[in-house]
A = this chain, B = another copy of it.
Amino acid sequence: MNVISVGMVSGAMGNLAHTPIELEELTCKYLGLGVANASNQVIQRDRYARVITALSLLASSIEKFAVEIRHLQRTEVYEAEEYFSPGQKGSSAMPHKRNPVLTENITGLARVIRSYAVPAMENVALWHERDISHSSVERFMLPDAFITTDFMLNRFNGVISKLLVYPENMMKNLNLTGGLVFSQRVLLELPLKGVSREDGYKIVQRNAMKVWEDLQQGKPALNSIGESLFLQNLLNDEDLRAKLSESEIRDCFDYGYYTKNIDKIFERVFGC
């Protein structure tokens, strides 16, 4: 990062009184650093604050992934799981437990790293650009922020490389709603048949809300031939059937429709 890779040899007041400006430039060049164009007794602390906020932002993004995995690992969802080695104990009290301990740990570490952002910025307004109050802050913050971020990244790397993923459970959870996940697709077909957005919304919502009720009363999400509750409801809705044929309705219940652009997105993100 250019902002922090700078040096200074400008003297105790930053006025280059005792050494020539060329010495400062040569020294920094020799060390592979840029020159702090204007310094004082110290390099100004906005540079440090930018580095610390960059670490805080990084930690907050890693936290997003960690929170995702914690959700996916909960018993009722169970779409993914941190690796659990054969002899490992999940809980001393509960022999069956397999908690997402690493991502919970990472979540906490993100709070720690993020907490350095404000004191790093409070350090900027040194009196006359050179009181020494930043020093005690940085003795805590600089090693802890870098070491903790490094640890978090390593731990997260380990989580990802060993992550257990359960695609069958993903499909099972998708089916949990009795086909409701396809509601937007149906909604978008109706305007193509001349139905207003508002009328279309009513038709679709009415059939969707009935699914929630049926599920609450214990009806199975899919019937014996794999037709979802929502599909069954829609096929029986006369207003809808006046606009969409059976096959047009059935065509809406296609997962492939939602994944057809995934490769393009991956290509855009990873450029390959």
A residues contacting B by CB (< 8 A) are 11-13, 15-18, 20-21, 35, 37-38, 44, 46, 49-50, 53, 56-57, 60-61, 63-64, 66-68, 70-71, 74-77, 89, 91, 93-96, 98-99, 101, 104-105, 107-112, 114-119, 121-129, 131-137, 140-141, 144, 148, 166, 168, 173, 176-177, 180-181, 183-185, 187-188, 201, 204-205, 208-209, 211-212, 216, 218, 230, 257-262, 264-265, 268-269
Contact = CB atoms under 8 A, between A and B. Distances in A.
A240 B204 CA distance: 55
B68 A128 contact: yes
A interface secondary structure, majority: helix
A112 B137 contact: yes
Nearest to A173: B76
Contact of A64 (B125, B166, B230): B125
A112 B140 CA distance: 8
Contacts of A71: 127-128
B119 A265 contact: no
Contacts of A91: 12
Contacts of A258: 13, 15, 17
Contacts of A209: 96
Contacts of A11: 93
Given A71-B127, A74-B76, 15 more contacts: A15-B258, A15-B259, A17-B261, A21-B264, A50-B57, A56-B117, A57-B124, A60-B121, A64-B124, A66-B125, A67-B127, A74-B77, A109-B136, A114-B121, A118-B118
Nearest to A126: B64
Given A124-B64, A258-B15, A95 B204 contact: yes
Contact of A12 (B93, B173, B201): B93
Interface centre among A53, A184, A204, A265 (most CB of B within 10 A): A184
Contact of A136 (B12, B38, B105): B105
A136 to B, nearest CB: 3
Contacts of A185: 17-18
Contact of A95 (B50, B128, B201, B259): B201
A3 B201 CA distance: 36
Given A64-B126, A96-B205, A134-B108, A261 B76 contact: no
Nearest to A144: B140
B111 A137 contact: yes
A29 to B, nearest CB: 14
12 contacts: A15-B258, A37-B265, A53-B57, A60-B121, A89-B201, A94-B184, A96-B208, A99-B132, A108-B136, A112-B136, A112-B140, A114-B121
